Amino acid sequence: MNEKDITIHPTAEIADGAQIESGVSVGQYSIIGPQVSIRKETQIDSHVYIEGKTVVGKNCHIFSFCTVGTEPQDVDYKGEETQLQIGDNNTIREFVSIHRGTKKGGGITTIGDGNYIMAYSHIAHDCHVGDKTVFINAASLSGHVTVHDHATVGGFTGVHQFCRIGKHAFVGGYSAITQDVLPFSRVAGNRPLLLYGLNAIGLRRAGFSRERINEIKQIFNIFFYSNLNTADAVKQIKKDIPSGEDRDEILKFIQLSSRGIVKKPSEQWERRSD
């Protein structure tokens, strides 16, 4: 580590033991705890608080007034040493809070690479966030939630404990997520939470071919609109659709669901599906 490559404002507090790599900058009045590791070229703005056994990856930008790696909001937590692992190239905007894990939940909260987490969002203990997700302002994950790669969580949305949001899924704003959101799908609302079919716009933006999107539509038609129960729908998908990346991703997601899948279609989507 070349200290000349590190910029730390005189008002910032860096505890003994903290590992700060080259190219890192730490702004006014920020506080970095003794077990924190900050990788190369990461920018920490003013008034940021990072503590616990926390790793922040390379080339991240954490904006002002964030709290990162603080104790989980869990009544059973008794000060055990748990972790937060944040990957590379993440943008974490103002007032975001991210908590480290709990012993009973695996002991670690993880965030992958290339995520954009907007202001006031919250990621609770033992959550696992993949790569290139987007959290719109004030999106909140309860404990033990998994958000897979390329998913979008809408503003002011709350996600119930142990729920999962699949790859390339889109969750609309002001939603209450109480079941798993199938990969590639769109959902929104609360009381009830409704399915709005395929996230076609997101898939096109992600470079999915028309053929690939049409195959996912076939899977959706079987799973959501064939009046088959889940077990029979899975059998039908295996029979009708050749094994492939997207089919296998969907089937694996269904198999691992413990809270059930969001399946209630909106009236708008029912009309479009006829």
Domains: count for the chain: 2
Residue 160 has pLDDT above 80, yes or no: yes
Residue 143 catalytic? Answer: yes
Query: Do 106 and 223 share a domain, yes or no?
Result: no
Q: Residue 2: is its pLDDT beyond 60?
A: no
Residue 230 and residue 98 share a domain: no
pLDDT score recorded for residue 266: 78
Please provide residue 248's backbone torsions phi and psi, each rounded to the nearest 5 degrees: -65, -35
- Residues 242 and 235: their CA atoms lie apart, in Å, by 12
Same domain, 10 and 126: yes
Compute the average pLDDT of residues 184-188: 97
Does a structural domain hold residue 198? no
Question: Which residue range forms the structural domain that includes residue 222?
Answer: 203-273
What is the value of pTM for the model shown?
0.95
pLDDT at 256 over 60: yes
The answer to the question of residue 174 being in a domain is: no
Q: Last residue of some domain: 115, 144, 173?
A: 144
Q: Is 125 among the catalytic positions?
A: yes
Provide mean pLDDT across the span 174-196: 96
Indicate if 126 belongs to the active site: yes
Proportion of the chain above pLDDT 70, given as a percent: 96
Residues 129, 107 contacting (CB under 8 angstroms)? no
For 129-145, write each residue's pLDDT tens digit: 999 999 999 999 999 99
In this structure, is residue 44 part of a structural domain? yes
Domain end position, chosen among 94, 111, 144? 144
CA pair distance 192, 263, nearest whole angstrom: 11
197-218: pLDDT as tens digits: 999 999 999 999 999 999 999 9
Kindly state whether residues 138 and 223 are assigned to the same domain: no
Domain end call among 144, 171, 193 = 144
pLDDT category of residue 268 using cuts at 50, 70 and 90: low
Instruction: Report yes or no on 116 lying in a domain.
Output: yes
CATH number at 122 reads 2.160.10.10
Q: What is the pLDDT of residue 142?
A: 98
Are 136 and 225 contained in the same domain? no
Whether the pLDDT of residue 101 is over 70: the answer is: yes
pLDDT of res. 55: 98
Residue 67 belongs to a domain: yes
- Residues 7, 140 within the same domain: yes
pLDDT per residue as tens digits for the range 189-199: 998 999 999 99
Whether 135 and 207 map to the same domain: the answer is: no
Question: What's the CATH code of the domain at 255?
Answer: 1.20.1180.10
- Return the number of other C-beta atoms located less than 10 Å from residue 34's C-beta: 13
Determine, yes or no, domain membership for 56.
yes
Catalytic one among 33, 45, 87, 125?
125
Q: Are residues 137 and 46 in the same domain?
A: yes
The answer to the question of residue 36 being in a domain is: yes
Please tell me whether residues 126 and 213 are part of one structural domain: no
Residues 112 and 231 in one domain: no
Out of 143, 172, 189, 197, which one is annotated catalytic?
143
Q: Which member of 45, 112, 126, 189 is catalytic? A: 126
Rounded CA-CA distance 121/158 in Å is 10
pLDDT digits (tens, 9 = 90+) for 28-49: 999 999 999 999 999 999 999 9
Mean pLDDT, the chain, whole residue set? 95
Residue 165 within any structural domain of the chain:
no
Q: How confident is the model at residue 1 (pLDDT cuts 50, 70, 90)?
A: very low
Geometric angle at alpha carbon 40, from 38 and 43, rounded to 5°: 70
Query: What pLDDT is recorded for position 86?
Result: 99
Q: Are 116 and 214 in the same domain?
A: no
| Residue 53 predicted with pLDDT over 80 | yes
